[in-house]
Amino acid sequence: MFKEKIDTSRLPKHVAIIMDGNGRWAKERGYDRIYGHQKGVTSVRKITEAATELGIEYLTLYTFSTENWDRPSDEVKALMELLVLTIDREIEDLEKNNIRLTTIGDISRLPSEVTKKLEACKEKTANNNKLNLILALSYSSRWEITKAVKNIVDDVQNGKLTSDDISDTLISRYLTTAGIPDPDLMIRTGGEIRISNFLLWQLAYTELYFTSTYWPEFDQEAFYEAIYEFQQRERRFGK
């Protein structure tokens, strides 16, 4: 059992996860892709509970990328409906477990019903402080960085900044993750070994952990194993 091996004095402050493999998991078992996404919601609940219990402060889940809009319309529609149902079902548990929900990404592209549910949940959990659960929705890092550059240029042109003000710290303040610490650990399930346009700026010195386990099968023990493996590494931050 990996949980007993974890040193709780050296936990990663922020864990980010690319939840990959829902569709392939379902296809290999003769189901359609949306069934895999539905099963993936159960894993979200398990990992959120495990992170909260350990005392991790930030958990970012790559929920829906800007590239996912190019998937078949029926699948996108089903994913949006699943998101609404999940928010309705989980909001009481978020409150009970003192979890704050936030989002990053181009939320304006989401259907209005989804946006309303998200905003209501974010408002209701705004004062919670046990775990910050961050959903990356309609998110891509290239979109985020492009948007930040445009905003910086606007502020330079409007006299709010000069080129001498621009630094990595300032750029971080213009990203959608402003105020959120960079991830210490990034986990990707599903067997692919890439980061797929996810938090490109923020992952500069993040420890990367890849597993072939599909997301619907990624349970608490698998999460604890990733945390334990993270603690065996020496982080030098380029020094």
Tell me the per-residue pLDDT of 78-89, one tens digit each, with 9 for 90 and over. Answer: 899 999 889 889
What is the pLDDT at residue 239?
66
Q: Which residues are catalytic?
A: 20, 68
Strand 131-139, strand 99-104: pairing: parallel
How far apart, in whole angstroms, are the C-alpha atoms of residue 67 and residue 54? 33
Strand 185-188, strand 207-210: pairing: parallel
What is the pLDDT at residue 153?
97
The percentage of the chain sitting over the pLDDT mark of 90, rounded to a whole number, equals: 92
How far apart, in whole angstroms, are the C-alpha atoms of residue 155 and residue 153? 5
What is the pLDDT at residue 45?
94
pLDDT tens digits, one per residue of 1-13: 899 999 999 999 9
How far apart, in whole angstroms, are the C-alpha atoms of residue 107 and residue 173? 19
pLDDT, mean over the chain? 95
Tell me what the mean pLDDT of segment 191-196 comes to. Answer: 96
pLDDT at 217 over 80: yes
pLDDT tens digits, one per residue of 148-162: 999 999 999 999 999
pLDDT at 205 over 90: yes
What is the pLDDT at residue 211?
98
What is the pLDDT at residue 186?
98
What is the pLDDT at residue 134?
96
Which of the two residues, 234 and 40, has the higher pLDDT score? 40
What is the pLDDT at residue 97?
94
Categorize the per-residue pLDDT at 20 as very low, low, confident or very high, splitting at 50, 70 and 90.
very high
Categorize the per-residue pLDDT at 126 as very low, low, confident or very high, splitting at 50, 70 and 90.
very high
What is the pLDDT at residue 236?
78
Query: How far, in whole angstroms, is CA 143 from its chain's centroid?
Result: 16
Burial class (CB in 10 A: 0-12, 13-18, 19+), 232: exposed
pLDDT tens digits, one per residue of 130-182: 999 999 999 999 999 999 999 999 999 999 999 999 999 999 999 999 999 99
pTM value?
0.95
Nearest CA to 28 out of 219, 212, 226 is that of 212
What is the pLDDT at residue 25?
97
